[in-house]
């Protein structure tokens, strides 16, 4: 499969978050094990039908943010101690993870996390666990196979799939739940640049075809800003910068810290390199 | 050499082994779903048999109804045990959980003696004919039915885990609880369900053995024999539990044959399964089908 029919970059329908976003995270504070403060007053909004990227260095709290939204925080002894998470205007913080999945938020966890001792088909069927319209499931499995044709050829255990195929399976499994919002944690992890292209291409297609909304956490900032319409940049548990993806991609600081290069003309000379240290943190 | 005795013992072994296999499956089910080593599995068998006996003899209801009532009772019983006793133990050290199940086993053992006495009680006769002819061999009806029931349960388990939604959810929970939750599976209800199924199916085995031998506290011996079976099969493999059970059933009867023909040591049938247990632990600690994780990155 090639990325031949690659459409132009996502339309800049982005703009600022609309009046009532699908997901609104308002000033949440997250504490692990009652003592470790990880998120300190984080807010973000994800409008319907768009891809929003959440970027930041390791340990900034990106994955924690996703787990706070999906409720999986509870499985790791974490809790939201302040603030609120509104989904479709309804508060979802404090609900059990399974209740949040039923509301329509599905998290694709970091590192794929497919069920290795089941087949692809069984993994996909599991994705539809919370669905009420069970008659529709076989048709949806076919739909997933259309997006990821190579999954159909794999009849063995999912544990023997390659990394890229596992990622595709993880995304396919998320689609089977028919969620309104998919939280994607590092879909590019451990994939070759070509596969990253392919996966992101499909993610963009999913958004335009199916109208799902995606909150995307990525280390690969360049790729993420290409597909996203809006972006947030986190540092030490807070959002420090946000804007349309195009604006962020042009921002000198973002270029310098996440995209490589950048820094303007004066960076060309070694004698100016001190500026790097001075501006390393925004805070 | 007495070939009739040999054949008889092998058939015995197969029938008893299939029952071990059924109880071993129940044990593995609980272990896989909720990571609890259930030392009270044998008492589930015992309780099932006593409860069914109670319905049949005290209320004189037909066997089918008594049996179904027993299943309902055991489902509720299994859920209650999980919710009341085991759920608060989630996250506690393994050794504490094991102590709790050993405690449960002792309590139920005593409770059954207190409630129903210490003497073996026969089941009222269930089948019209004592024995039927199969390929010219006279086979006791209960044995035949017992084998059919065991095979039926095994097929039921296979279908449940392969094809049903809840079966898949249980396997997912066994594989990775966090992922299961991210898929919208309530692991609490999976735990409760595992205990309910395990208790009910163990009760079926208990009723079958009770019909053959009468009900007494000795019935919980199955719970002990299950350990060699599951260790042989691999602690977390349902198929392994079944095969382990059948192998243990055959091996102990083979030992009985050898013992009665040549050795005359007596009671080898009781001991040999545990020799197998020790040897397996020494040479193949994962058993025949125990998991070693598939890893590919």
pLDDT band (50, 70, 90) for residue A231: very high
Pick from A15-24, A122-131, A250-259: least confident: A15-24
Q: Is residue B164 part of a domain?
A: yes
pLDDT band (50, 70, 90) for residue A19: low
Q: Is residue B102 part of a domain?
A: yes
Cα-to-chain-centroid distance, residue B181: 29
Pick from A22-26, A35-39, A175-179, A269-273: least confident: A269-273
The residue segments making up the domain with residue A202 are 23-250
What is the number of structural domains in chain B? 1
Q: Is residue A7 part of a domain?
A: no
Q: What is the pLDDT of residue A1?
A: 40
Q: What is the pLDDT of residue A7?
A: 40
Q: What is the pLDDT of residue B51?
A: 93
Cα dist. A39→A87, A239, B126, B154, B199 in Å?
Answer: 19, 10, 67, 50, 45
Contact between B239 and B18 (Cβ < 8 Å):
no
Q: What is the pLDDT of residue A81?
A: 93
- What are A's interface residues with B at a Cβ cutoff of 8 A? 70, 72, 75-76, 96-98, 101-102, 106-107, 109, 113, 115-118, 122, 125-127, 129-130, 134, 157, 159-163, 173, 177, 190
Q: Which neighbouring-strand residues pair with A45?
A: A24
Using CA atoms, how far apart are residues A94 and A274, in angstroms rounded to an integer?
46
Q: What is the pLDDT of residue B156?
A: 92
Q: What is the pLDDT of residue A264?
A: 53
A172 C-beta neighbours (distance < 10 Å), count: 24
Q: Is residue B273 part of a domain?
A: no
The rounded radius of gyration (Å) of the Cα atoms in chain A is: 19
Tell me the CB-side half-sphere exposure of residue A176, using CA atoms within 13 A.
30
Report the alpha-carbon angle B152-B156-B160, nearest 5: 175
pLDDT band (50, 70, 90) for residue A129: very high
Q: Does A97 sit within 8 Å of B182, measured CB to CB?
A: yes
Q: What is the pLDDT of residue A213?
A: 94
Q: Is residue B106 part of a domain?
A: yes
With a pLDDT cut of 90, the percent of chain A lying above it is: 47
Joined tokens for residue B111: 């409770």
Please check the confidence at residue A235 and state whether its pLDDT lies above 60. yes
pLDDT band (50, 70, 90) for residue B136: low
Which one of B175, B182, B295 has the shortest CB-CB distance to A70? Answer: B182
Q: What is the pLDDT of residues A248-258, one digit of tens each?
A: 888 888 887 77
A222 C-beta neighbours (distance < 10 Å), count: 12
Q: What is the pLDDT of residue A20?
A: 80
Which one of B171, B175, B178 has the shortest CB-CB distance to A72? Answer: B178
Contact between B289 and B233 (Cβ < 8 Å):
yes
**Residues 6 or more apart from A225 whose CB is under 8 A from it?**
A53, A55, A231, A245, A246, A248, A249, A259
Q: What is the pLDDT of residue A54?
A: 93
Report the alpha-carbon angle A80-A81-A82, nearest 5: 100
Q: What is the pLDDT of residue B1?
A: 67
- What are B's interface residues with A at a Cβ cutoff of 8 A? 165, 168-169, 171-172, 175-179, 181-186, 291, 293-297
What is the number of structural domains in chain A? 1
Q: Is residue B156 part of a domain?
A: yes
Q: Is residue A213 part of a domain?
A: yes
End-to-end CA distance of chain B: 57
Q: Does A190 sit within 8 Å of B297, measured CB to CB?
A: yes
Please give the ipTM for the structure prediction. Answer: 0.81
Nearest CA-CA partner of A124 in A141, A139, A143: A141
Q: What is the pLDDT of residue A68?
A: 94
Interface test with B, best of A129, A138, A177 (most B CBs within 10 A): A129
Residue A35's domain is classified under what CATH number? Answer: 3.40.50.300
Q: What is the pLDDT of residue B76?
A: 96
Q: Does A173 sit within 8 Å of B185, measured CB to CB?
A: no
The residue segments making up the domain with residue B74 are 3-216
Q: What is the pLDDT of residues A180-194, one digit of tens each?
A: 999 999 998 888 888
Joined tokens for residue A67: 């787990």
Q: Is residue A13 part of a domain?
A: no
Over residues B81-104, the mean pLDDT reads 90
Q: Is residue B181 part of a domain?
A: yes
**Residues 6 or more apart from B80 whose CB is under 8 A from it?**
none
Using CA atoms, how far apart are residues B146 and B96, in angstroms rounded to an integer?
36
Cα dist. A277→A239, A255, A257, B70 in Å?
Answer: 21, 15, 11, 74
Q: What is the pLDDT of residue B111?
A: 92
Please check the confidence at residue B167 and state whether its pLDDT lies above 70. yes
Q: Is residue A260 part of a domain?
A: no
Pick from A181-195, B111-125, B256-270: least confident: B256-270
Q: Is residue A266 part of a domain?
A: no
pLDDT band (50, 70, 90) for residue B284: confident
Q: What is the pLDDT of residues A73-113, one digit of tens each?
A: 988 889 999 999 999 989 998 899 999 999 999 999 988 89
Q: What is the pLDDT of residue A2?
A: 43
**Residues 6 or more apart from B214 whose CB is under 8 A from it?**
B120, B121, B122, B123
pLDDT band (50, 70, 90) for residue A270: low
With a pLDDT cut of 70, the percent of chain A lying above it is: 85
Please check the confidence at residue A267 and state whether its pLDDT lies above 60. no
Q: Is residue B107 part of a domain?
A: yes
């Amino acid at each position: 499969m090639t990325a031949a029919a690659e459409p132009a970059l996502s339309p800049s329908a982005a703009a600022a978050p609309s009046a009532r976003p699908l997901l609104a995270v308002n000033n949440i504070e997250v504490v692990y094990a009652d003592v470790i403060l990880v998120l300190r007053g984080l807010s973000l909004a994800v409008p319907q039908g768009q891809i929003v990227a959440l970027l930041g260095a390791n340990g900034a709290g990106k994955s924690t943010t996703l787990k706070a939204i999906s409720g999986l925080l509870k499985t790791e002894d974490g809790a939201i101690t302040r603030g609120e998470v509104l989904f479709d205007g309804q508060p979802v913080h404090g609900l059990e993870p399974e209740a949040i999945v039923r509301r329509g938020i599905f998290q694709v966890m970091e590192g794929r996390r497919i069920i290795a001792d089941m087949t692809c088909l069984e993994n996909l069927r599991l994705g539809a666990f919370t669905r009420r319209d069970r008659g529709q499931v076989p048709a949806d499995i076919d739909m997933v196979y259309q997006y990821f044709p190579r999954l159909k050829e794999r009849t063995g255990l999912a544990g023997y799939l390659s990394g890229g195929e596992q990622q595709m399976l993880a995304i396919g499994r998320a689609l089977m739940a028919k969620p309104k919002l998919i939280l994607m944690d590092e879909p590019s992890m451990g994939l070759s640049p070509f596969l990253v292209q392919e996966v992101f291409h499909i993610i963009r297609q999913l958004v335009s075809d199916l109208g799902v909304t995606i909150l995307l956490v990525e280390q690969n900032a360049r790729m993420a800003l290409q597909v996203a319409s809006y972006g947030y940049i986190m540092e030490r548990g807070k959002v420090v910068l946000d804007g349309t993806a195009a604006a962020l991609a042009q921002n000198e600081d973002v270029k310098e810290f996440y995209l490589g290069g950048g820094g303007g003309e004066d960076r060309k000379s070694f004698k100016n390199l001190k500026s790097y240290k001075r501006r390393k943190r925004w805070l | 050499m007495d070939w009739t005795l040999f054949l008889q013992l092998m058939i015995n072994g197969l029938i008893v082994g299939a029952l071990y296999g059924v109880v071993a499956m129940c044990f593995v089910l609980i272990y896989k779903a909720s990571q609890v080593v259930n030392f009270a599995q044998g008492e589930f068998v015992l309780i099932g048999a006593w409860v069914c006996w109670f319905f049949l003899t005290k209320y004189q209801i037909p066997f089918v109804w008594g049996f179904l009532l027993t299943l309902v009772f055991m489902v509720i019983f299994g859920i209650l045990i999980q919710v009341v006793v085991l759920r608060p133990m989630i996250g506690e050290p393994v050794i504490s959980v094991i102590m709790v199940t050993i405690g449960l086993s002792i309590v139920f053992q005593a409770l059954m003696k207190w409630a129903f006495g210490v003497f073996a009680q026969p089941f009222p006769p269930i089948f019209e004919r004592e024995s039927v002819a199969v390929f010219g061999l006279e086979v006791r009806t209960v044995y035949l039915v017992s084998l059919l029931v065991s095979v039926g349960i095994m097929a039921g388990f296979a279908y449940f885990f392969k094809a049903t939604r809840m079966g898949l959810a249980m396997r997912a929970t066994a594989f990775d609880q966090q992922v299961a939750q991210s898929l919208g599976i309530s692991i609490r209800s999976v735990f409760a369900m595992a205990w309910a199924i395990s208790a009910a199916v163990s009760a079926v085995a208990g009723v079958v053995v009770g019909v053959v031998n009468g009900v007494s506290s000795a019935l919980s011996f199955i719970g002990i024999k299950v350990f060699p079976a599951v260790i042989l099969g691999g602690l977390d493999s349902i198929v392994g539990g079944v095969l382990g059970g059948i192998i243990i059933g055959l091996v102990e009867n083979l030992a009985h044959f050898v013992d009665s023909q040549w050795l005359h040591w007596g009671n080898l049938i009781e001991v040999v399964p545990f020799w197998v247990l020790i040897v397996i632990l020494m040479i193949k600690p994962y058993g025949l089908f125990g998991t070693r994780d598939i890893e590919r990155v």
